[in-house]
Amino acid sequence: MFGFVARRVLQMIPVLLVIATITFFMIRLAPGGPFDAEKNVSPEIRKNLEAYYGMNKPVYQQYFDYLGRLLQGDLGPSFKYSNWTVNELIGQSFPISAELAFWSLLIALMIGLPAGIIASLRPNSFSDYIPSSLSLAGISVPNFVLGPLLVLVFALKLGITPVSGWDGWLDRLLPSITLGALYAAYIARLTRGGMLEILSQDFIRTARAKGASPLRVILKHGMRGGLLPVVSYLGPAAAGLMTGSFAVETIFQIPGLGRYFVNAAFNRDYTMLLGAVLFYGALILVFNLIVDIVLIWMNPKLKFE
């Protein structure tokens, strides 16, 4: 396993380099700049700002300077948040986004797994149609529509939860449901498909013929193989929960990394955009590596070689 992990980590380096290169030049091709919004800045001050941040250099030199800092783990200063570096902004905001992703994934698993298992036990029946219909609805409704609807009903009409913020556990409820609903729907459909395939295998029939109870058949014999598609999906899902929190954090005014990313895009904060993209890219690669290790552990047919 050590060799497998080492090879995957080495493969991450050129991938992150490609991501950094493409992102660096794409954001500079976009119209506008980080200091265009400063209407009252004199030309002299503007030149000083560009010189301070290295914006007066040729683009290729800016690129190599950025790579040099990146190799040292320095993502540079933020253009819009004075006296803050991108490392500091990510360090203080990412734990909030990670907590939101954790609760959202927990809700998705708590809803999706039971719904998919129930749907697989009696296919093409009433207990199958209801979870399948709800999962289709969850896939069809985007989170930027579901979030305001939940706020309208539970915060404004019923007054059960706050409208926005990130203080108590009630503040976490609506954002977690909003972000986790889509993934609950996908997990339910993947669970149903995987369990249907496993429950039709010969070893399941053998277990039933030996007198194993339905619960034992599902928990001990069925779930280990039936949940392999779900485990494969958890890597992209966890990364999607991190990156997909942009709209949810903006709707509920959560001070996570997603809000900084959105603000950086509007303000042309080049270093913040680059740092967030690289950070999310590294997270996706790490999550995929963890999922591959878990899949090899769950499936005896797979090997680390």
Q: Could you tell me if 131 and 116 are in contact, meaning their C-beta atoms sit under 8 angstroms apart?
A: yes
User: Residue 223 in 3-state DSSP?
Assistant: helix
Residue 53 within a domain: no
In a domain, 174, yes or no: yes
Comparison of pLDDT for 27 and 236, the residue scoring more: 27
Q: Name the pTM for this structure.
A: 0.78
Q: Does 96 map to a domain?
A: yes
Question: Out of 32-36, 98-102, 109-113, 267-271, which region has the weakest mean confidence (pLDDT)?
Answer: 32-36
SS3 161: coil
Q: What is the pLDDT of residues 73-104, one digit of tens each?
A: 888 888 888 788 899 999 988 898 889 989 99
pLDDT of 39 over the 70 cut: no
Question: Cβ neighbours of residue 41 under 8 Å, at least 6 residues apart?
Answer: 35, 49
Cα angle 37, 41, 44 (rounded to 5 degrees) comes to 130
| Nearest alpha-carbon partner for 238 in 116, 97, 74 | 97
Q: How far is CA 144 from CA 155, 209, 251, 270, in A?
A: 16, 49, 8, 26
pLDDT at position 55? 80
pLDDT at site 182: 86
* Number of domain units in the chain: 1
**Is residue 263, in this structure, part of any structural domain at all?**
no
Give me 260's structure tokens: 């900084």
In a domain, 208, yes or no: yes
CB 146 within 8 A of CB 219: no
Element (H, E) at 21: helix 2-29
Which of 202, 194, 228 shows the shortest CA–CA distance to 297?
228
| 4 located within any domain | no
Domain-located, residue 214 = yes
Indicate whether 294 pLDDT > 60: yes
The rounded distance, in Å, linking the Cα atoms of 67 and 230 is 37
Question: Would you say residue 292 lies in a domain?
Answer: yes
C-alpha 211/C-alpha 213 separation (Å) is 6
Q: Which residues contact 236 (CB under 8 A, 6 or more apart)?
A: 284, 287, 288
The Cα–Cα gap between 135 and 189 comes to 7
Residue range 64-73: mean pLDDT, rounded = 88
Half-sphere exposure of 183 (CA within 13 A, CB side): 29
- Examine the pLDDT at 304 and tell me if it is beyond 70: no
Q: Can you give the CATH number for the domain in which 123 is found?
A: 1.10.3720.10
Domain that holds residue 213: 92-256+287-298
Lookup: tokens for 249:
């954090």
Token pair for 274: 């680059």
> What's the first-to-final CA gap in the chain, in angstroms?
8
The conformation of residue 40, written as its DSSP 8-state character, comes to: T
Model confidence band, residue 18 (pLDDT cutoffs 50, 70, 90): very high
Two tokens, residue 31: 């119209």
